[in-house]
Amino acid sequence: MRHPTHRAMERTFHVTGLDCASCAQTLEQGVARLPGVQACQVQFASGTLRVVGDVSLAQLQARVRELGYDLAAPAEGLATASAAPTGWPRFMWQHRDTRLALLGLVLIIPGVILEELLRIDHPIITTLALGAWLTAGFPIVRSAWRALRINREVNINVLMTIASAGAIVIGAFTEAGMVMVLFAIGEALERYTGERARQAIRSLAKLAPEHARLLRPHPGSALAPGEVAVTALRPGDVILVRPGERIPVDGQVLSGMSAVNQAPITGESRPIDKTPGSEVFAGSINGEGALEVEVTRLASDTVLSRLIQLVQEAQERRAAAQRFIDRFARVYTPAVVALAGLVAVVPPLLFGQPFVDPVTPSAGWLYRGLALLVVACPCALVISTPVSIISALSNAARHGVLIKGGAYLEALNRIRAVAFDKTGTLTYGRPAVIALRPANHIDGDGTAQHCTDCADLLALASAVEQQSEHPLARAVVDEATRHGLHMRYPPATAVTALPGRGVTGRVEDREVTIGSHAYFSEHVPHPEEHCAAAERDTQSGYTPLMVAAEGQYVGTITVADTVRATGQEALQMLKAMGISTLVMLSGDDAAVGARVGQQLGVTDVHAELLPADKVAMIQSLRAQHGDVVMVGDGINDAPALATADVGIAVGAALGGTAQAMETADITLMSDDLRRLPFLFALARATMRTIQVNLALSIGLKLLFVALVLSGLGTMWMAVAADMGTSLLVTLNGMRLLTTPRPPT
């Protein structure tokens, strides 16, 4: 009898006690050996363990603790991270292992000064060195034994234990103690810098407050007005957000007006005005006005929560460079161990060289072999890539750009062609008033701000259009409201639609008609120059709305979908970065496409395209230019976004589209197109940083191999150099947390 299959459980935990990338590999291999575990991945840079399989929490916890680490639930892990000390001295004193390393440092200093520098030998120095080896080395030896017993692997702790024990056997006591002390302090430094990097990632989780001020519960709710936990709120609840407070959940403003800083979510540098009907996001900061907000999403479903979840998932998608380094490190370490064995044995056997030199231990080939074991430490190499990628992902997220994995940063580095959707991407996707043309003049200012006739024309049209939800009508009303003209005339009465032609209504006993140019050509006389101007508008892809009162022509309001304010600047920046092919794909007619393309400065325009045609264009661009990026709104352009090598959705938070965040490889949370050149700059900076880190790691390894083989390198020098390199590549990768920055 066949039993029905079931989906294996997938869980993610935060891990405490990880010192280095090698520790993460040891933990990953140890957990993977548990019965029932189908897949396991440990990310040192984010301090997370992801397990897929049917294994109990007790078994997981036992294995992790057996290997010397501990598990925390996601919420507990974040709390632990947020409470971590920021100062290096406090960090060193907080943990038992690091306190032992500090004690070992105190014990080894006399030997370094007297024996290594002044060449003074004394039994007390030897005793202190052995004490330093035991105190600083105890956690390292314990970890080495666990790795051998549980994983049956030779990791860096095993190498350090063998090397330092061998140094004691040949009488290099001070050097043995120095190796353990330097390695222990280096591991602590890596843990400290790694925790600082995780702090930057996890700081996103602290953006939203844990409590909210409930004004009116939704019908049927058991909550009472007052302070409640954010997790208890449900859609329909009404909360109060006071001036200066962080908004706790996603919602819609019911009453109040304020300017809200939503930079933590969308990356926008300026506060955004919020009025009744506006959407607000958890984690954004309220300005000077109090807001009553109706909850629209659960705390677990907010844009901020989804952003955090996707950033955490992105950490698990290893870039190709990272996967290569992981594979290389697995071969590299045993290869160097084999080389160390050959170095220790071959010269004495074949060439009569000293195996051990009792007078000068570093002259013996056993010592050189032991020193090579120290050089074999892969920490700097393994951590060089992930710390750079995680830092870049965190930098992007803090500026409103969600990247779903390091692979897309790598891909962006190769891109030379970018395709853009027009409507909603390069343009705002909604009509707006771009010109006013009163009947008595055509060469005036054309704006309601400086022209009295223009203002009256706009106010009169607004009185009629206030009753309509048509996009063109909303454009007129919004423009009148922006200039404070929407109340100049009372709302029209007896409003009647002219299907396909326009609308009429009575405003203060005058019959006002708003219609198309074709309708006015048949029914309302208007000046020849205004007729010619309307024709030019139509040919340019604009929509002229003509206005008449009591059958007399009053003027024309020109409406169009306008280009984004940052579009032209963004495209110029992309061109300056060497991205020479910028193509616009549009479903609009050719005239509209040509106008927008000319305004923005794209290199090519393809109009009147169906979704399938856009997919074909992406494939054609790939054949010509290699990898292609598609930038769209994440919904209508889903097929093209999926076809492109990298799909980028624009303004997902503003549209409230969870689909955009799910489908696209990269999401710009705001509609500021200047985030695109920032994204490309970040990708290039990330790959440069990885290359520099790899060159440093491999270059210093080769240098110390040469020094050790020539008899010039010592074990403690190799440890210091390796730990220094690990710290250097970590700090170099962490620079990506703050640079580059998007333009403001």
- 658-676 pLDDT, tens digit per residue, is 555 666 889 888 888 999 9
pLDDT for res 654: 47
pLDDT band, very low/low/confident/very high, at 291 (cuts 50, 70, 90): very high
Percentage with pLDDT > 90 across the chain: 41
What pLDDT shows up at residue 312?
63
Question: What's residue 300's pLDDT?
Answer: 84
**Rounded distance, CA 653 to CA 282, Å?**
11
pLDDT band at 5 (very low <50, low <70, confident <90, very high): very low
- SS3 of residue 260 by DSSP: strand
CATH fold, domain 430-563, is: Calcium-transporting ATPase, cytoplasmic domain N (3.40.1110)
- The residues annotated with a catalytic role in the active site are 421
Read off the pLDDT band of 650 (50, 70, 90).
Answer: confident
CATH 3.40.1110.10 residue spans of the chain: 430-563
Helices (H), 466-527: 471-482, 517-523
Task: List every span in the chain annotated with CATH 3.30.70.100.
Answer: 10-87
Fold adopted by 211-301: 2.70.150
pLDDT tens, residue by residue, 150-189: 988 878 888 889 989 999 998 889 989 998 998 888 888 7
Q: DSSP 3-state assignment of 52?
A: strand
* pLDDT of amino acid 80: 42
Question: Can you tell me the mean pLDDT for 596-614?
Answer: 90
Going by C-alpha positions, the residue among 83, 6, 79 that lies closest to residue 38 is 6
- Would you tell me how many other CB atoms lie within 10 Å of the CB of residue 682? 26
Angstrom CA distances, 646 to 310, 399, 424, 586, 667, stand at: 16, 19, 19, 19, 11
For all residues of the chain together, what is the average pLDDT?
Answer: 85
Reported as type and span, the H/E element at residue 138 is helix 123-146
Give CA–CA dist 272/282, Å, rounded: 14
> Which tens digit of pLDDT belongs to each residue from 25-56?
889 889 999 999 998 988 776 778 889 999 99
The top-level CATH class assigned to 10-87 is alpha beta
Q: Distances from the Cα of 723 to the Cαs of 110, 141, 371, 596, in angstroms?
A: 22, 18, 14, 55
Phi, psi (degrees; rounded to nearest 5) at 347: -60, -45
**pLDDT score, position 201:** 59
Secondary structure (3-state) at 562: strand
The pLDDT tens digits of the residues spanning 548-570 come to 999 999 999 999 988 888 999 99
Q: Which of the given ranges, 70-74, 144-148, 315-319, has the highest pLDDT on average? A: 144-148
Residues 494 and 505 sit within 8 Å (Cβ to Cβ)? yes
Rounded to whole angstroms, the Cα distance separating 488 from 467 reads: 16
Nearest Cα to 68, choosing from 16, 21, 104? Answer: 16
Bridging pattern class, strands 238-241 and 401-403:
unpaired
CA distances 674 to 18, 271, 336, 412, Å, are 38, 17, 48, 16
Q: What is the largest CA-CA distance in the chain?
A: 117
User: Using 50, 70 and 90 to split pLDDT, how confident is the model at 315?
Assistant: low
* 244 φψ region: left (φ > 0), alpha (ψ -120 to 50), beta (else): left
How many angstroms separate the CA atoms of 649 and 344, rounded? 58
Give the pairing type, strands 211-216 and 226-229. Answer: antiparallel
pTM: 0.77
pLDDT at 604 over 90: yes
In the chain, where does the domain assigned CATH 2.70.150.10 lie? 211-301
Rounded distance, CA 462 to CA 288, Å?
30
Of 99-103, 321-325, 488-492, 545-549, least confident by mean pLDDT is 321-325
Question: Cis before residue 235, ω within 30 degrees of 0?
Answer: no
- Opening angle at CA 715, ends 713 and 719, nearest 5: 105
